[in-house]
Amino acid sequence: MSWWLDITDLDEDQKNVIDLPPTGDYLFLGPPGSGKTNLLLIRAEYLIRTKYPNLFVLMFNEPLHDFVVRGGVLYDVPAAKIRKMLSWELVLLRENGVLLKDLPEDDLDAKRKALAKKVLELLDTNPKLENHLECLLVDEVQDCFPEEVEVFFRCAKHVCFAGDNRQRIFSSHSVIPAIQERVKTIELKTHYRIGHEICRAADVVGEAAGFSSILDTCNYNDAESKVQFSCCSTDEEQINKIVEALTVQLTAYPDELLAVVGPRKRDRDFLREQLEASALAPLILPHRSSGSDDPNQRIYVAHLLEIKGLEFRTIHLALMQHIHRLRENQKRIAYTAITRAKTTVSVYFTGKIPGYLEQAQVAVEPPKPRPPLEDLFPKKKKGRK
């Protein structure tokens, strides 16, 4: 993450956040790369220092938790205070003697809802647990269920959420409007992480999903960004191209995370298998780890739902011919994936990609010369053949 180290890095919107009193309920809304997670961590640090240390910062999943804990050392937020949402709930239930036998382990959504329900029941039976924390700070709140949000409100005296509806990838229903009715919303308008070309591509995908532009609010000021699409004849060709590009990127972006991502779990497994058979094998991060103590391990291989909240210098979106299998959430997922990159996005596919991605390709590639009018007629085409 492009961690901030001091106040000179903040813009006016962000300064509005650090100006907030230690008490109160807040929601930070902003586009990808606007610094929501950073602000959440800065606020946690501030609260700890202003005699409100009984708090937790909740992350959505393991890779994001890992990522934040590693970057969080730049702030004085103890790692023990940064928790995964589910594990925090599980610990709370176990601490209070609630049995956890009948959780639906195969269905994550069902498991999350069941856990939240159990916590709410616990709060009903043990009212002393209401508001037992000073504050809960929750990242990626747009993907929470209403039950989970209720848990947060009831467990802590104050809540602080960060989220962006555009990056909602797990649920088709948004909890953001309901949260906004209960807390003060602080909107972050500009963003810094994502290069201009990437914004251009993201905007095309976002437009198809009804999102507003992020190119207009882009304050990126780093290496020139690019988005490239590669239509390959085979999946193996995609791998070869990725390996070739990664070899250069490892030199071009020392010490930074690079990602190779496929749409589904099986795509991720295929990519990992192929990359581990290449010369880049020693540089690949362990499964579901977004960081490592070995500084050489910098390539994160994942599927599209595992990159939530993370950021990479470059991202290789491979096997994208399969993205349509993510059905109704696919545009938001594609949008979120593209906006994970700071500088380079490479999209690889064998065969066809959905129209919204084709449109993004048109937006970022140099305009092709217009074909002669007669070429459009079938007769002429036949003659050519």
Partner 1 sequence: MNTHYYARVDRRDFGDLISEEGVSRLNIETVAEIDILEAPVSNAVIAVWSLDPKKTTQLPEVLICQDGTQNDWAAWITTFAARIRPFSAYMRLMTHTDFQRTAKRSPTPDIGPFTWPAAGLILGEVLGASDLPDKALETLSATAFASTLSFVMCRAAAIYADFQEWSHLVEMWESVREVTKQRTRSIESGSIARVCATVMDALGFQGASKILTRNDTEVSEACRYLFRSPQRTPSNLFETKIFADAEHMMRGSREDRVLAFEEFLHRSDGISVPKPEIMSFMLGYLASRIAPGTIRHSSVLGQVTHRYPTAVLWYGFCAGFAEGDANMPNASGRRGVDFPSSARRMIRELLRPELVLGAPICDIGYLELIALSRTGGDPLEGFIKTTQGSIIVELLPGVCTSVSVSSKPPAESQVRELRGREIIERMGKQIERLCETYKDFLAAKAPGSEAEQRSLFPTRRKKK
Residues binding partner 1 (CB under 8 A)? 195-197, 218-226, 245, 248-249, 251-255, 295, 343-344
User: What gap in Å lies between CA 2 and CA 244, rounded to an integer?
Assistant: 26
Residue-wise burial string across 131-143, b where 16 or more C-beta atoms lie within 10 A, e elsewhere: eebbbbbbbbbbb
142 vs 225, beta carbon nearer partner 1: 225
Entry field: residues in the chain:
385
CB-nearer residue toward partner 1: 147 or 256: 256
DSSP string, 153-169: HHHEEEEEEEE-GGG--
Separation CA 211–CA 208 (nearest Å): 8
Q: How far is CA 32 from CA 24, 59, 262, in A?
A: 24, 16, 20
Q: What are phi and psi of 117, to 5 degrees?
A: -65, -40
Neighbours of 10 (CB within 10 A): 17
**Closer to partner 1 by Cβ: residue 125 or 221:** 221
Residue type present at position 82: I
Least distance from partner 1 to the Cβ atom of residue 356, Å: 23
CB of 255 to partner 1, least distance (A): 6
Minimum CB separation from partner 1 for residue 205, in Å? 19
Least Å from the CB of residue 226 to partner 1: 5
Q: Shortest Cβ distance from residue 164 to partner 1 (Å)?
A: 22
196 or 324: whose CB is closer to partner 1? 196
Shortest Å, Cβ 223 to partner 1: 4
Nearest of 357, 385, 328 to residue 231 by alpha carbon: 357
Nearer to partner 1, 307 or 345 (CB): 345
CB of 367: closest distance to partner 1 in angstroms? 17
In terms of CB distance, is 217 or 289 closer to partner 1?
217
**CA 276 to centroid of chain Cα atoms:** 25
In terms of CB distance, is 179 or 299 closer to partner 1? 299
Comparing CB distances to partner 1, the nearer of 172 and 221 is 221
Block residue for tokens 């470059």: 314
Radius of gyration, CA atoms only, the chain: 22
SS3 state at 228 = strand
Q: How many Cβ atoms from other residues are within 10 Å of residue 384's Cβ?
A: 7
Nearest distance, CB of residue 259 and partner 1, angstroms: 15
Closest to 275 in 3D by CA, of 338, 324, 318: 318
